[in-house]
Structure 1
Amino acid sequence: MNVVVWNENRHEKENPVVADIYPEGIHGVIADFLREDHENVRTATLDEDEHGLTDEVLDQTDVLVWWGHMAHEEVREDIAEKVKQRVLDGMGLVVLHSAHFSKVFKKLMGTSCDLKWREAEEKERMWVVDPSHPITEGIGEYIELEKEEMYGEHFDIPTPEELIFLSWFEGGEVFRSGATFRRGKGKIFYFRPGHETYPTYYNKEIQKVIRNGVKWVDNHQTPTPVYGNAQPLETITTK
């Protein structure tokens, strides 16, 4: 499996708190733990040529992991369209935290993907609501994070095909924090935790969920359907 971890890599350059937590970038931490499962893991960032997502890279990518926050509008429209098309063609997509507002995710969802939010260093308890799903393998009844950014309902997304996690926050809100979708031949997993000023991606349970999610969205062996006018497979007898 070929995995690409994409990240704006802007907070790490501009915010010393984030740089201290993620000196190699959020993408670096995620790529490191994904390499425990996959040999071919690479990273790409916003300021690279074509955002690091050239045709050659995308054509070879089985799963794309996307983290974005402060620079969604800087992603080129043509590249967002290419990523969307690759998902429709079968590439898996894992969308993390504020990437709910990315051009790619909004194009695939067809909605505003808006929500409530608050930064107050509050506790999050993320409950597993589908314990039979492969993405929850190796996870207990819930994951508890001491400090996270609050995301609250209503989350303006289409009704998920599968709801995996439901979060409760110390301030009282709840949120659909893990959800899956299918678009064309592609599978999508949205996973909420991961605010840049908290060390969330060092949490082993969060890492386990992302590792499971990458495996689940991998769909590269799915048959390619043929569309258009079709010749019969059997002889058609006319009367």
Structure 2
Amino acid sequence: MNVTVWNENRHEQTSEQVREVYPEGIHGAIAGFLRNEEGIEVQTATLDEPEHGLTEDVLQNTDVLIWWGHMAHHEVSDEVVEKVKQRVLEGMGLIVLHSGHFSKIFKTLMGTSCDLKWREADETERLWVINPGHQIVDGILEYIELEKEEMYGEHFDIPAPDEVIFTSWFEGGEVFRSGCTFYRGNGKIFYFRPGHETYPTYYNKDIQKVITNAVKWAKPADRKRPVYGNAKPLSPIAPKGE
């Protein structure tokens, strides 16, 4: 299975605090633990590469795309977004992390504003597993606790998820649907909330396990996309009397 980890990679260039947490970039941290998984080949791509690193060849050879963005959503070209959308409809898995909720690709696939409440106050977060039989939470106990995270709060303006996997509680009192799945065309999408750039969230073993599980869940099914449009009858249609 071929996985591409996409990161806008801007905070790492402008913030010493972020560089200290993620010296290889957020994409590097995620790619690092995924490379420990047998059967997964990982490459990375970033915003400032030609075509944002998501060339036709890269996309056609990607089974699951992981997306992290925050401060430069507007710089992602509409042409690249359309190519990614078509690949998802064809069956490529998409995992959208944290502030990627505001990415062009996620909003395009959701059809809503994807807006929410937020606050940075070093709050404890508990991600409660509310779909314990799902593949994405294999090996995860009743909840994951993060000592410090950015708060995201409801209402989260997304369409009703096909499945809600996690609901988060924050120290300040808010709750949030922090792990949601969606099906678009032949593709599977998982939105996973944790991952603010100034916190070492992607080094947490449970968070790594969830993302790894999600990659395996989102891999393409072995089938082609349905044929649409005008269709010839499968069986003869008897003429009807007046």
Deviations 1:153-181 (A, max 9, x none): 00000010100000000000000000000
1:97 is aligned to 98
Identity of aligned residues (%): 72
1:147 is aligned to 148
Superposition TM-score, scaled by structure 1 size: 0.96
Q: Which runs of 5+ in 2 are unaligned?
A: none
Q: Distance in 1 between matches of 2:179 and 2:225?
A: 28
User: How many pairs align?
Assistant: 239
Other structure's SS at 1:66 match: strand
Output the amino acid matched with 2:8.
Answer: E
Other structure's SS at 2:122 match: strand
Q: Distance in 2 between matches of 1:209 and 1:84?
A: 23
Report the CA distance between 1:89 and its aligned residue.
1.3
Report the CA distance between 1:227 and its aligned residue.
2.1
For the Cα contact (< 8 Å) 1:161–1:179, is it kept in 2? Answer: yes
1:22 is aligned to 22
Report the CA distance between 1:219 and its aligned residue.
1.5
Deviations 1:66-110 (A, max 9, x none): 000010001011111111111111110000000000000000000
Q: Distance in 1 between matches of 2:224 and 2:74?
A: 35
Q: Distance in 1 between matches of 2:133 and 2:216?
A: 15
For the Cα contact (< 8 Å) 2:185–2:225, is it kept in 1? Answer: no
Q: Distance in 2 between matches of 1:24 and 1:81?
A: 29
Matched, 1:58 2:44: no
For the Cα contact (< 8 Å) 1:166–1:176, is it kept in 2? Answer: yes
Q: Distance in 1 between matches of 2:196 and 2:25?
A: 13
Q: Distance in 1 between matches of 2:149 and 2:177?
A: 15
Other structure's SS at 1:114 match: coil
Kindly report structure 1 stretches of 4+ aligned residues shifted beyond 6 Å: none
Q: Distance in 1 between matches of 2:224 and 2:89?
A: 13
2:4 is aligned to 4
1:48 is aligned to 49
Output the amino acid matched with 1:118.
Answer: R
Report the CA distance between 1:113 and its aligned residue.
0.3
Report the CA distance between 1:235 and its aligned residue.
5.1
Deviations 1:1-39 (A, max 9, x none): 111000011111110011011010000010111112244
Q: Distance in 1 between matches of 2:173 and 2:151?
A: 10
For the Cα contact (< 8 Å) 2:90–2:224, is it kept in 1? Answer: no
Q: Which runs of 5+ in 1 are unaligned?
A: none
Q: Distance in 2 between matches of 1:226 and 1:235?
A: 20
Superposition TM-score, scaled by structure 2 size: 0.95
Output the amino acid matched with 1:209.
Answer: V
Other structure's SS at 1:79 match: helix
For the Cα contact (< 8 Å) 1:62–1:220, is it kept in 2? Answer: no
2:89 is aligned to 88
Report the CA distance between 1:202 and its aligned residue.
0.2
Q: Distance in 1 between matches of 2:92 and 2:224?
A: 13
